[in-house]
DNA sequence: TTACAAAACTAACAGTTATTAGTATTTCTT
DNA sequence: AAGAAATACTAATAACTGTTAGTTTTGTAA
């Protein structure tokens, strides 16, 4: 009788979520079967249901965990006394670092959220919108203080968020840039592009 | 006996591809069933097989059509006598315009290519890589001629391509920016961010 | 050792999937 | 109008889906 494979300092639930995120990222949520997930954990599919409620619940936990992390960081940024340019810099750096630490989960939250059950999809989009609005306010603040050029704040935010979201392409390639190099390059590009 | 719905100056195949792209974008390739596609065309599912080879073939045609369009445009850019900054500007503008003209198909090519059958997935990634490499060369040329700052060209290209890929979020919202406004903002942001 | 809970197993389900076979109907060509 | 080609239909398929039921094994505490 096989047991769910776990690593040191990891609960079974952690292991399930980690493997689910890996599969959901590489194949997509819909294209990943519960049997497949069970395989990677070295166990039969129905055994998983001693630990999870449903397949959809896994996607849900991944997406909302990541959303919560972003929300938490945004709160610390908002309540910090720094200027808009420094805030923006820190946000860009955070996104890049977060992608490296929680690659699979961040990817899933970025690209597979559409597969969330209808009700949670709505809640997820609301949280995204709040995050985006917070970011827009920071940009607007920067424009008001003449730190930033007069561009449409919403387009600026979308441009920045999209750019950092696209980093997944660099992870799996030979071009193995370090987090620091990526942060430096992208801050330079994306921040200087809107700075007066 | 129902007939496949088509619009003026549109072949049946066009209509099938258009509706497929719309569904693949909004629900995902895997989550879209052939029956569903048939429904939107006002016909029974098996009838579609008089016009298509398989569901996968539809995804294939969408992805490679778009890839060909990008490749064609890249060739005209490469063989033009303009400077790297003008070339980059035109590429950014093209991406934005293309997204507005062929929204569903561009989205599918950007986000659903992972679901391509293995062999075509390889070919698709090769074409992407070629496009990316061409773009990298343009950036390198700009750096050599001191038009651009000394940043990692590959990161710069990824940043630009990811940023324009993310525009889908603006289409479906109240913020109805015109193509021109988006082009102006993003060129300003993304091009000035790397310009000396 | 015994009892109990946690977690694994096998078997099976009802539903959905893309697709094929075979047949009827419509449309085009002559 | 007749014959051919295109295109629609119904019925059925085998494979796969997430999940449940019921049972057996394992781990833990007395």
**Count of structural domains, chain B:** 2
Pick the closest to residue A160 from A127, A126, A195, A125 (CA basis): A195
Residue pair B145/B84 in contact (Cβ under 8 Å)? The answer is yes
User: Do residue A92 and residue A170 come from a single domain?
Assistant: yes
Element (H, E) at B102: none
Q: What is the pLDDT of residue A167?
A: 87
Structural domain for A35, as ranges: 12-50
User: Do residue B88 and residue B34 come from a single domain?
Assistant: no
Instruction: Scan residues 94-153 of chain B and list those with Cβ within 7 Å of strand C.
Output: none
Chain A residue numbers touching B152 (CB-CB < 8 A): 177, 181, 185
Please indicate, yes or no, if residue A124 is contained in any of the structural domains: yes
User: Do residue A146 and residue A79 come from a single domain?
Assistant: yes
Please indicate, yes or no, if residue A3 is contained in any of the structural domains: no
Q: Does A189 touch chain B (CB under 8 A)?
A: yes
Chain A residue numbers touching B186 (CB-CB < 8 A): 155, 159
Chain A residue numbers touching B185 (CB-CB < 8 A): 151-152, 155-156, 159
Q: What is the pLDDT of residue B78?
A: 97
**Could you say which residues of chain A have pLDDT below 50?**
none
The C-alpha angle with vertex B47 and arms to B46 and B50, in degrees rounded to 5, equals: 110
Q: What is the pLDDT of residue B176?
A: 81
Residue pair B166/A163 in contact (Cβ under 8 Å)? The answer is yes
In terms of Cβ atoms closer than 10 Å to its own Cβ (0-12, 13-18, 19+), residue B95 is buried
Question: Which CATH number belongs to the domain containing residue B23 in this structure?
Answer: 1.10.10.60
Please indicate, yes or no, if residue B186 is contained in any of the structural domains: yes
Written as tens digits, the pLDDT of chain B (196 aa) is: 799 998 988 999 999 999 999 999 999 999 999 999 999 999 999 999 999 999 999 999 999 999 999 999 999 999 999 999 999 999 999 999 999 999 999 999 999 999 999 999 999 999 999 999 999 999 999 999 999 999 999 999 999 999 999 988 777 666 789 999 999 999 999 999 999 8
The minimal CB distance from A186 to the residues B27, B155, B165 is found for B155
CA closest to A166 among chain B residues = B162
Q: How far is CA A131 from CA A45, A108, A137, A141, A155, in A?
A: 37, 18, 10, 16, 14
Residue pair A52/A12 in contact (Cβ under 8 Å)? The answer is no
User: Do residue B89 and residue B157 come from a single domain?
Assistant: yes
- Which of A186, A191, A195, A196 is most worth mutating to test chain B (most B CB atoms within 10 A of its CB)? A186
User: Do residue B107 and residue B72 come from a single domain?
Assistant: yes
Please indicate, yes or no, if residue B110 is contained in any of the structural domains: yes
The answer to whether some atom of strand D lies closer than 7 Å to the beta carbon of B46 is yes
Residue A172 and residue A22: Cα distance in Å, rounded? Answer: 13
The answer to whether some atom of strand D lies closer than 7 Å to the beta carbon of A11 is no
User: Do residue A26 and residue A116 come from a single domain?
Assistant: no
């Amino acid at each position: 009788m096989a047991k769910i494979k776990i690593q040191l300092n990891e609960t079974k639930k952690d292991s399930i979520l980690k493997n689910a995120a890996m599969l959901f990222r590489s194949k997509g949520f819909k294209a990943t079967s519960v049997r497949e997930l069970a395989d990677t954990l070295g166990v039969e599919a129905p055994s998983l249901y001693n630990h999870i409620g449903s397949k959809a619940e896994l996607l849900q936990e991944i997406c909302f965990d990541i959303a919560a992390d972003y929300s938490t960081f945004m709160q610390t940024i908002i309540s910090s006394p720094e200027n808009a340019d420094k805030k923006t810099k820190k946000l860009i750096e955070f996104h890049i670092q977060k992608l490296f630490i929680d690659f699979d989960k961040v990817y899933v939250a970025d690209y597979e959220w559409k597969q969330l059950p209808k009700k949670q999809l709505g809640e997820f989009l609301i949280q995204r919108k709040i995050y985006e609005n917070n970011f827009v306010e920071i940009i607007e603040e920067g424009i008001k203080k003449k730190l930033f050029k007069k561009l449409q704040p919403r387009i600026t935010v979308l441009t920045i968020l999209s750019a950092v979201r696209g980093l997944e392409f660099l992870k799996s390639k030979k071009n193995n840039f370090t987090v620091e190099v990526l942060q430096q390059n992208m801050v330079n590009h994306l921040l200087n592009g809107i700075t007066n």
